[in-house]
């Protein structure tokens, strides 16, 4: 197993120890896969990716993305374990990339759980699940075949909401609690984004519904930001940010649409969170996001 250990610098957002993104040396298998993808022209940044995200992705595999064990019908051996001396190592199953071998996939709910683990600096052993060919042992743990799932106190827990709450109860320091009156801020952005993305009728009002939700969020952050709970990041931000990331990539690709420049506080919010070390380490590849939403657009 390949391993790395985070450093112990302190986060200006939560006060928690933080680490720089590790430089991970790929095995010969990963190196060969990367070279093959580059040769096939699949490692470049999609031309339709919003300008604000293009510079974050180079023509080779970003070193900032976590690697892990890829589980299909037959498992493979490349793994990286994020760990610290803080506590026991937690097992977590998340979606695997369909584009790059042994890399994170495009599930925003999986990213939310990983962001929570990263922000709390909890050690974890990540298992990447090929959702197109789920191994039998995984289906025994998650009969519906859904990710993410995490093992806490010898029990496997599903649903990102439940997982985030359970981690907060078991590991309260640093706190990521969002005050109840603020917990639903921005919650309608994701469903209205999906409605607009799937829409084939420009006059059906789905774009305006999304703009309305983004405008409300912009006004809220202007008065209460920089984060949903104020000065410190919280669980609500870790839930919303992966969804905004999908929004920016998917709408940029399929509708040539981006968050209006007039919504400056939304744009700054996205820029701030998208540049966090924990986000960079756990984000999906743009190609995976685009491929993941294709059935919604073409179906």
pLDDT tens column, 164-174: 999 999 999 99
User: What does the pLDDT read at residue 73?
Assistant: 57
User: What does the pLDDT read at residue 173?
Assistant: 97
**Distance from chain centroid for Cα 138:** 21
Domain 180-277 has CATH 3.40.50.150: no
User: What does the pLDDT read at residue 9?
Assistant: 45
The token pair at 265 is 């506080």
Low-confidence stretches of the chain (pLDDT beneath 70): 1-69, 73-87
Cis amide bond preceding 44, omega within 30: no
Query: What pTM was computed for the model?
Result: 0.78
CATH class as words, domain 2-11+46-176: alpha beta
Q: Respond yes or no: is residue 43 known to be catalytic.
A: no
Of residues 202, 235, 218, 262, the one with CA closest to residue 112: 235
**Axis crossing angle, helix 235-254 with helix 160-170, rounded to the nearest 10:** 150
Which one from 43, 45, 93, 107 is the annotated catalytic residue? 107
User: What does the pLDDT read at residue 299?
Assistant: 82
Q: Where are the domains of the chain?
A: 2-11+46-176, 180-277
**Residue 96, helix vs strand vs coil:** strand
CA–CA distance, 50 with 176 (Å, rounded to integer): 30
Maximum Cα interatomic distance, the chain, rounded to a whole number of Å: 56
CA–CA distance, 73 with 54 (Å, rounded to integer): 34
Question: Would you say the CATH fold of 180-277 matches that of 2-11+46-176?
Answer: no
Of residues 207, 269, 268, 197, the one with CA closest to residue 233: 269
């Amino acid at each position: 197993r390949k391993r790395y250990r985070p450093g112990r610098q302190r986060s200006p957002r939560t006060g928690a120890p933080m680490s720089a993104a590790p430089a991970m040396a790929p095995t010969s298998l990963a190196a060969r896969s990367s070279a093959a993808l580059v040769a096939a022209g699949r490692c470049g940044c999609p031309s339709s990716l919003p300008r604000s995200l293009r510079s974050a992705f180079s023509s080779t595999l970003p070193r900032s993305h976590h690697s892990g064990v890829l589980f299909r019908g037959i498992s493979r051996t490349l793994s990286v374990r994020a760990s610290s001396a803080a506590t026991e190592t937690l097992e977590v199953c998340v979606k695997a990339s369909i584009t790059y071998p042994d890399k994170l996939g495009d599930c925003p709910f999986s990213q939310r759980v990983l962001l929570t683990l990263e922000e709390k600096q909890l050690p974890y052993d990540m298992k990447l699940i090929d959702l197109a060919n789920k191994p039998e042992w995984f289906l025994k743990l998650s009969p519906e075949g859904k990710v993410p799932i995490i093992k806490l106190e010898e029990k496997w827990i599903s649903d990102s909401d439940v997982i985030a709450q359970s981690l907060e109860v078991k590991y309260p320091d640093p706190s990521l609690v969002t005050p109840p009156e603020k917990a639903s801020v921005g919650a309608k952005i994701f469903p209205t984004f999906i409605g607009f993305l799937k829409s084939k009728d420009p006059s059906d009002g789905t774009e305006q519904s999304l703009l309305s939700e983004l405008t409300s969020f912009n006004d809220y952050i202007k008065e209460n930001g920089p984060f949903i709970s104020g000065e410190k990041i919280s669980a609500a931000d870790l839930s919303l940010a992966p969804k905004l990331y999908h929004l920016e990539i998917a709408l940029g690709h399929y509708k040539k649409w981006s968050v209006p420049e007039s919504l400056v506080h939304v744009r700054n919010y996205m820029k701030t969170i998208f540049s966090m070390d924990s986000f960079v380490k756990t984000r999906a590849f743009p190609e995976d996001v685009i491929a993941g939403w294709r059935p919604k657009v073409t179906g």
